[in-house]
């Protein structure tokens, strides 16, 4: 399973008013393990950056002046995320901006290029209703060190989000199967055609273990009824009498002397 944890920084809060993406950061998870591969790029938005946004991420227009425009990085970005499941905090925000950028170039939206989207903001609110669900709050909740996060940054936030996501969904790795390692079918013996099975190792109890087991049962019986031992009073005195030897059994009656099963004579046939 391939997942891409993704974050962006932008010139402002609303792409519908002309705000643009200025940074994209992605890290790759393969079967819930960081692979070490990442995608990171700064982008020249060709417009001013809002003061409020600058205070959040600290990325200035001067810094972005010599960076590529989105059209020059779009293909590399698509190649990195294509076919993967995206993991995003507040996915509506990032997807909206990226789809806007792709749409300006006539390219397909992310939903058509990727396997799906997991929104960790919604997931956090479902798991802990009423609790703060910001990335900083989740790092604190899951004891993930984010002291180096003085400003927002797409790649740094993606790396932190990957740790948060794995902590939020811990336990799901037991549901995964490595299909490459699984046999495609039963292994057969070439000579006989029968299914070859591994020999089972039988571990028999030692004399000491059997004696210890009997001691446990005796201890239980001394305090009351032990279900694993026969009850001496379970049989009536009549049943407890010694069974007769085979040659002492009375001879069975002839067939015509047997009564019906309910003990009544059959009515004569007309």
Rounded to whole angstroms, what are the CA distances from 226 to 216, 219, 234, 239, 249? 10, 9, 13, 22, 35
Written as six digits, the tokens of 125 are 């609110």
Residues 6+ apart with CB under 8 A from 237: none
Task: For residue 148, indicate whether it is catalytic.
Answer: no
DSSP states along 208-252: HHHHHHHHHHHHHHTTS--TTS--TTSS-HHHHSPPPPGGGSPPP
What is the three-class DSSP state of 52?
helix
Residue 143 C-beta-side C-alpha neighbours within 13 Å: 0
The Cα 125–Cα 158 span in angstroms is 19
**φ and ψ at residue 60, rounded to 5 degrees:** -95, 165
Question: Which residue in the list 89, 148, 152, 213 is annotated as catalytic?
Answer: 152
What is the three-class DSSP state of 86?
strand
Q: Which of 72, 19, 78 is nearest to 42 (CA)?
A: 72
Instruction: List active site positions.
Output: 152
């Amino acid at each position: 399973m391939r997942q891409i944890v993704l974050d962006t920084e932008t010139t402002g809060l609303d792409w519908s008013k002309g705000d643009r993406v200025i940074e994209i950061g992605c890290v790759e998870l393969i079967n819930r393990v960081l692979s070490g591969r990442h995608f990171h790029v700064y982008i020249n938005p060709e417009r001013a950056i809002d003061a409020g946004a600058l205070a959040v991420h600290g990325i200035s227009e001067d810094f972005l002046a010599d960076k590529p425009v989105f059209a020059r990085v779009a293909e590399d970005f698509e190649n990195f995320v294509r076919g993967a499941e995206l993991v995003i905090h507040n996915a509506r925000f990032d997807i909206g901006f990226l789809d806007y950028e792709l749409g300006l170039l006539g390219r397909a939206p992310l939903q058509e290029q990727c396997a799906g989207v997991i929104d960790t903001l919604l997931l956090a609110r479902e798991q802990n209703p009423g609790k703060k669900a910001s990335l900083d709050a989740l790092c604190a909740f899951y004891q993930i060190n984010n002291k180096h996060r003085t400003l927002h940054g797409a790649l740094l936030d993606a790396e932190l989000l990957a740790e948060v996501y794995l902590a939020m969904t811990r336990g799901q790795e037991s549901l995964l199967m490595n299909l490459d390692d699984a046999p495609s079918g039963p292994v057969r013996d070439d000579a006989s055609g029968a299914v070859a099975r591994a020999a089972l190792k039988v571990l028999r109890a030692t004399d000491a273990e059997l004696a210890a087991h009997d001691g446990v049962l005796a201890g239980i019986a001394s305090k009351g009824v032990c279900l694993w031992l026969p009850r001496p009073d379970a049989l009536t005195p009549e049943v407890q009498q010694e069974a007769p030897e085979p040659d002492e059994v009375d001879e069975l009656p002839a067939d015509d002397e047997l009564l019906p099963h309910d003990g009544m004579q059959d009515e004569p046939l007309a």
